[in-house]
């Protein structure tokens, strides 16, 4: 699919994998709307790549609609990358046997609300805009890529909420792809492994922590680069025969229990 001149919405696009994807999409000719809560970083990146920034909380439907409308104003909406997400880790049961020490249910709901429900809300609204976009060759109107995680398959101790949210993304990929085939929109999911992002911090302690993490990577034995994930995201968008798949990009890692 040729994305030259098309508009692309990237949630969580101000940093990490989202930012790397936004840069690569822009380099391929797309007009990118960075949908994020980080105004400073979002505006800075939008200026860098010739795109636009829209302040978006993916748990707020009106915010998502604003981003879609912004995308419509700058080009035909053909791309959505769902990269917004949060993590949370806590054991299911506390050590003292009290109900109060059990996993925080509100935090569990929050992770699901952002990572899973927010992603689906973005899908249904962006796909609605794509449904009235002029079709390309073979009736293609657009492509959606969700960012999941290997935690969807190899969730570690304490990752119940995060793994459930990402497992939900994997689970909806096929049925939504089947659904949106009727309007010429493809849906794929990329499941990253351990990616070197600012979440790990900087400095000597950070480097030591990352060195320990990468021991479980099969090959190459290092953390993944954000650009490597972005490359797969863009391939899923531009390769018109990629549909209804979840692809692990993880160096062959299989996460241990903890």
- Give the whole-angstrom CA distance, residue 169 versus residue 160: 14
Q: Which of 138, 162, 200, 241 is catalytic?
A: 162
- Say whether 210 sits in a helix, a strand or coil: helix
138 counts as catalytic: no
Q: Phi and psi of 38, rounded to 5°? A: -85, 95
> For 114, which DSSP code?
I
Token duo for residue 21: 């994807």
User: DSSP secondary structure string, 153-192?
Assistant: HHPPTT-HHHHHHHHHHHHHHHHHHHHHGGGTEEEEEEEE
User: DSSP secondary structure string, 48-80?
Assistant: HHT-EEEE--TT-HHHHHHHHHHHHHHS-EEEE
CB atoms within 10 A of CB 2: 14
Asked whether 212 and 256 are in contact (CB, 8 A), the reply is no
Residue with tokens 């497992």: 167
Cα separation values, 255 from 160, 189, 190, Å: 14, 19, 17
Task: Give Dmax (Cα) for the chain.
Answer: 62
Residues marked as catalytic: 162
């Amino acid at each position: 699919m040729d994305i030259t001149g098309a508009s692309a919405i990237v949630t969580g696009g101000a940093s990490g994998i989202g930012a790397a994807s936004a840069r690569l999409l822009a380099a391929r000719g797309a007009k990118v709307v960075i949908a994020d809560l980080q105004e400073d970083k979002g505006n800075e990146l939008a200026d860098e790549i010739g795109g636009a920034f829209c302040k978006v909380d993916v748990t707020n439907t009106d915010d998502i609609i604003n981003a879609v409308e912004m995308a419509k104003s700058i080009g035909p909406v053909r791309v959505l990358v769902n990269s917004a997400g949060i993590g949370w880790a806590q054991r299911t049961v506390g050590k003292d046997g009290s109900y109060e020490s059990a996993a925080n249910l509100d935090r569990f709901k929050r992770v699901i609300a952002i990572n899973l429900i927010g992603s689906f809300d973005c899908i249904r609204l962006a796909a609605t805009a794509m449904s009235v976009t002029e079709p390309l060759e073979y009736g293609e109107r657009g492509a959606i890529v969700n960012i999941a995680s290997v935690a969807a398959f190899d969730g570690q101790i304490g990752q119940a909420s995060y793994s459930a949210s990402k497992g939900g993304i994997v689970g909806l990929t096929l049925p939504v792809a089947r659904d949106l085939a009727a309007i010429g929109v493809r849906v794929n999911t990329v499941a990253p492994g351990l990616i070197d992002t600012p979440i790990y911090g900087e400095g000597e302690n950070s480097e030591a922590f990352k060195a320990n993490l990468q021991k479980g990577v099969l090959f190459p034995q290092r953390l993944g680069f954000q650009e490597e994930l972005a490359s797969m995201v863009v391939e899923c968008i531009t390769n018109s025969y990629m549909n209804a798949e979840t692809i692990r990009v993880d160096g062959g890692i299989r996460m241990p229990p903890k």
